């Protein structure tokens, strides 16, 4: 699996952060540069029908090497990394034979990855742990998924005695800003069903996800010299602060788990004259999801009534929906994954995604697409890490799925 490690380290060193302010696809030239590199690599290892379209989507085929009829299976991962943490000059650290204690991410030990803070880390004692250097994110979300898919395809190409049907591969841009499926051509991809490699720790298997919406709240106030402001100034910053306080304080990401939804204020910029707040709204249940969007509009209306001179606007945009009903109608896909996990010596941990994947939207576009683990933890920040052995198991699961495909609807 040295190729897997080398490939992953090479990938994460490449900055592929998206640009939410740019409406193009991909949203950043960095992603297109990486897409070209991936397309070249897929051709070099021997895949067929390698394409890179103008929107930054890479697709390729591993042709069938058996006459047995079977479905076309797809594997998908995204190229961009989270815009919520630094992603330039990523310097991954490799910790071999992890002793189960603290891992120093910086030379002065000012930043420590500790099982005291992240208890699941202790599970990987004796393994090789890949971490950040404490200054950036790592990018295992989703460079690990890409590395695992490419390595599995390479393994099958080098071992033609392993019989499999047609396999399709795709790498997408801009998943982290909710646009990963915007320009995905399902018919061109041509798979009967697919799996995203975009999950967390070893064993996770996910086919339920949040219903998701984005909200942009703009508060326009009135700027007046503070010396003569009495009765005339409307400080948009203070009005925005009051609006946020009306949302349920216990329904934020830091206070919720499992199937519990939330309101998440992730960006705020403002002056006395104007403040813009950006939220994401999440809930697994479609009814509660609708209620949350109503709450956002209701608190804005309350602020309008209280501060007559302020102009408050709310822009709501649905991002994706819970894929549960689509996957349950094609549940053999999950049964195949469970079998593939167990053949690799892994007991599946079926759990809801507290987030979303390209697979959620693709499922509603006609491509049922649950989510497999990559092995990573603590995504989107400086404490991100991934055990190499978990990545190896992800490769094994992909290979098992390719070898044991069944006909759709069996």
Of 384, 375, 367, residue with least CA distance to 341: 375
Beta-carbon-side half-sphere exposure of residue 214 (alpha carbons within 13 Å): 14
Instruction: Say whether 254 is catalytic.
Output: no
How much is the pTM? 0.87
Dihedrals phi, psi of 390, to nearest 5 degrees: -70, -40
Name the CATH topology of 2-209+322-403.
Answer: Aminopeptidase (3.40.630)
Active-site hit among 15, 41, 80, 396: 80
- The class that CATH gives domain 211-320 is alpha beta
pLDDT 10s digit of each residue in the chain, 410 long?
789 999 999 999 999 999 989 999 999 999 999 999 999 999 999 999 999 999 999 999 999 999 877 899 999 999 999 998 999 999 999 999 999 999 999 989 899 999 999 999 999 999 999 999 999 999 999 999 999 999 999 999 999 999 999 999 999 999 999 899 999 999 999 999 999 999 999 999 999 999 999 999 999 999 999 999 999 999 999 999 999 999 999 999 999 999 999 999 999 999 999 999 999 999 999 999 999 999 999 999 999 999 999 999 999 999 889 999 999 999 999 999 999 999 999 999 999 988 777 899 999 999 999 999 999 999 999 999 999 999 999 999 999 999 987 554 43
Integer Cα distance of 38 and 41 in angstroms: 5
DSSP 363-379: HHTT----EE----BST
* Three-state helix/strand/coil letters over 171-232: EECCHHHCCCCCCCCHHHHCCCEEEEECCCCCCEEECCECEEEEEEEEEECECCCHHHCCCC
Strands 103-104 and 112-113: antiparallel
Q: Are 172 and 184 in contact, with CB atoms under 8 Å apart?
A: yes
Four-point Cα dihedral 399, 60, 354, 119, nearest 10: 50
Of 16, 8, 3, 20, residue with least CA distance to 319: 20
Dihedrals phi, psi of 121, to nearest 5 degrees: -60, -35
Listed in order, the ranges of the chain carrying CATH 3.30.70.360 are 211-320
Integer Cα distance of 198 and 68 in angstroms: 30
Integer Cα distance of 318 and 232 in angstroms: 37
Active-site hit among 175, 208, 358, 392: 175
Listed in order, the ranges of the chain carrying CATH 3.40.630.10 are 2-209+322-403
Based on its alpha-carbon atoms, the radius of gyration of the chain, rounded to whole angstroms, reads 23
Integer Cα distance of 262 and 212 in angstroms: 10
Instruction: Say whether 116 is catalytic.
Output: no
Integer Cα distance of 408 and 84 in angstroms: 39
Q: Are 278 and 216 in contact, with CB atoms under 8 Å apart?
A: yes
Of 215, 207, 213, 165, residue with least CA distance to 190: 165
């Amino acid at each position: 699996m040295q190729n897997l490690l080398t490939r992953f380290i090479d990938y994460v060193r490449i900055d592929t952060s998206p640009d939410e302010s740019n409406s193009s696809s991909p949203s950043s030239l960095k992603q297109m540069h990486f897409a070209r590199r991936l397309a070249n690599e897929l051709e070099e290892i021997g895949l067929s029908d390698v394409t890179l379209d103008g929107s930054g989507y890479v697709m390729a085929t591993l042709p069938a090497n058996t006459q047995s009829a079977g479905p076309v299976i797809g594997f998908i991962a995204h190229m961009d990394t989270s815009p919520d943490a630094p992603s330039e000059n990523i310097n991954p650290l490799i910790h071999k034979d992890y002793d189960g204690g603290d891992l120093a991410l910086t030379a002065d030990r000012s930043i420590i990855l500790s099982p005291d803070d992240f208890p699941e880390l202790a599970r990987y004692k004796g393994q090789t742990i890949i971490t950040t250097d404490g200054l950036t994110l790592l990018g295992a979300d989703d460079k690990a998924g890409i590395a695992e898919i490419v390595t599995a395809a390479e393994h099958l190409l080098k071992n033609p005695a392993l019989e499999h049907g047609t396999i399709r591969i795709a790498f997408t841009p801009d998943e982290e800003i909710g646009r990963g499926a915007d320009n995905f051509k399902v018919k061109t991809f041509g798979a009967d069903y697919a799996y995203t490699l975009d999950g967390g720790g070893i064993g996770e298997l996910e086919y339920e996800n949040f219903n998701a919406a984005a909200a942009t709240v703009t508060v326009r106030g009135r700027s007046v010299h503070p010396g003569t402001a009495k009765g005339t100034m409307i400080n948009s910053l203070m009005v925005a602060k009051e609006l946020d306080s009306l949302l349920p304080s216990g329904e934020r990401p830091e206070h919720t788990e499992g199937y519990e939804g939330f309101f998440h204020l992730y960006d705020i910029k403002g002056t006395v004259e104007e403040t813009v707040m950006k939220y994401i709204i999440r809930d697994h249940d479609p009814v509660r999801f609708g209620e949350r969007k109503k709450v956002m509009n209701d608190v804005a209306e309350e602020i309008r009534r209280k501060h007559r001179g302020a102009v408050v606007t709310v822009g709501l945009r649905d991002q994706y929906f819970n894929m549960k009903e689509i996957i349950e109608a094609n549940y053999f896909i999950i049964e195949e994954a469970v079998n593939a996990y167990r053949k690799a010596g892994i007991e599946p941990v079926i759990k809801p995604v507290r987030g979303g994947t390209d697979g959620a939207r693709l499922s509603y576009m006609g491509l049922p697409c649950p989510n497999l683990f990559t092995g990573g933890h603590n995504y989107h920040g400086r404490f991100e890490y991934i055990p190499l052995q978990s990545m190896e198991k992800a490769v094994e699961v992909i290979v098992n799925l390719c070898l044991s495909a069944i006909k759709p609807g069996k």
